Amino acid sequence: MKGTTKLLNPGPVTLTDRVRKAFDAEDVCHREQEFADLVKRVMGKLARVYPEADGAYVPVLLTGSGTAAVEAMLGSLTPRDGKTLVVSNGVYGERAAAILEAQGKAFTMLKSASWLDGIDLAGAEAALAAGGYTHVFTVHHETTTGRLNDVDAIGALCKKHGVPLLLDAVSSFGGERIRFDEWNLEACAATANKCLHGVPGICFALVRESAFESKKTGSSSVYLDLFRYRQEQKNGFSPFTQSVQAMFALQEALRELADGGGWEKRHAHYRTLTAHVMSGLAEMGIEILLESPKAYSSILTSYHLPPNMKYEALHDTLKQKGFVIYAGQGKFSGSIFRIAVMGDLGRGDVDRLLGEIRVLREAR
């Protein structure tokens, strides 16, 4: 039956019925006016998710997963002879560096000592004071651990030194606060199927419009060139085939977000669910990975696997009960598990999840 599995991985999310129905839409050609009109409506709604961005920032919609948006943002907006400071404390910061490497662009990798640490603010301050950077890149919500990075601090440094910030907001857009002017944000990359609760297939960058006027594309990619998309999407059209059904679903997901009171209400909902997960697991003696509950986003938390519990056993048992949890990546694989609360998920679902984990704990 549809909708009986609850996805607790960081996207794709469990769809609401409303979004699922929208996906089952009329067949439309992406070169017809009605599709262009749909795209323009979606662009308008995306621009208004954060009202303070509306007017100064424009969404550019691509077909692809979140990484496509990050790759397009870095490829198009960093100049070919520029240099980016990549401030990283996890898988997604490292992925951005790999993207710049593949694009043959200069960058400095500023890695925290461990993925358990916050981003290196002192290192960033020193690097920016020394100069020579055309952009700073960091990850807003580092999904590797669930840490909400201190972008207020990095953004303030960008503002102070006059260096534009490029942000991976793939797992935070629609669920956490984003400050545009204060962070000197040139663009952020995001996706339909995380906090926005759409289906996978569409990603986007929200870009300061003046970036398109004041410079030319740095892209060596034909497919992932934001400048070319922006030019054609002014009229709702795109250079290449878009994921038509996913666009209908995103429109409905954005309506649902607005009907529910916008990102701040969704954030509060996530916060409540996450606090419930965290306290329920703490009662069972399952400890968080990071130093404090405050280090986490509202969206995803990470836990040490108890000594007598294998990830596969936990995952497989919960899956049979209709819950898909998420493993650790890279050096955390096999030692942690993660729980995200995006999508169609309520307090009763979390109660059921905790009940199942309790049964497993007591069976040991």
Q: Which is nearer to ligand PLP, 16 or 329 (CB)?
A: 329
Type of residue at 287: E
65 binds ligand PLP (CB under 6 A): yes
Encoded one letter per residue, x for contact with ligand PLP by CB under 6 A and - for no contact, window 79-108 reads -------------x----------------
CA distance 29 to 332: 44
Q: Work out how close the CB of 72 gets to ligand PLP at its nearest, in angstroms, rounded to a whole number.
A: 12
SS3 314: helix
- Residues 13-49 as b/e (b if ≥16 CB within 10 A, e otherwise) read bbbbeebbebbebeebebeeeebbebbeebbebbbeb
Type of residue at 266: R
Tokens of 249: 């679903």
**Is the CB of residue 354 less than 8 Å from the CB of residue 362?**
no
Q: In which element (H, E) is residue 109 found?
A: strand 106-111
Q: Which is nearer to ligand PLP, 67 or 317 (CB)?
A: 67
Beta strands 336-340 and 300-304 are: antiparallel
- The number of C-alpha atoms within 13 Å of 261 and in the hemisphere containing its C-beta is 6
Q: Work out how close the CB of 309 gets to ligand PLP at its nearest, in angstroms, rounded to a whole number.
A: 25
Q: Which is nearer to ligand PLP, 33 or 333 (CB)?
A: 333
Q: Work out how close the CB of 34 gets to ligand PLP at its nearest, in angstroms, rounded to a whole number.
A: 28
Among 94, 120, 168, 176, binds ligand PLP (CB under 6 A): 168
Among 63, 76, 88, 143, binds ligand PLP (CB under 6 A): 143
Stretch that binds ligand PLP, among 25-33, 62-70, 73-81, 264-272 (CB under 6 A): 62-70
Among 191, 238, 274, 301, binds ligand PLP (CB under 6 A): 191
- Footprint of ligand PLP on this chain (CB under 6 A)? 10-11, 65-67, 70, 92, 139, 143, 168, 170-171, 191
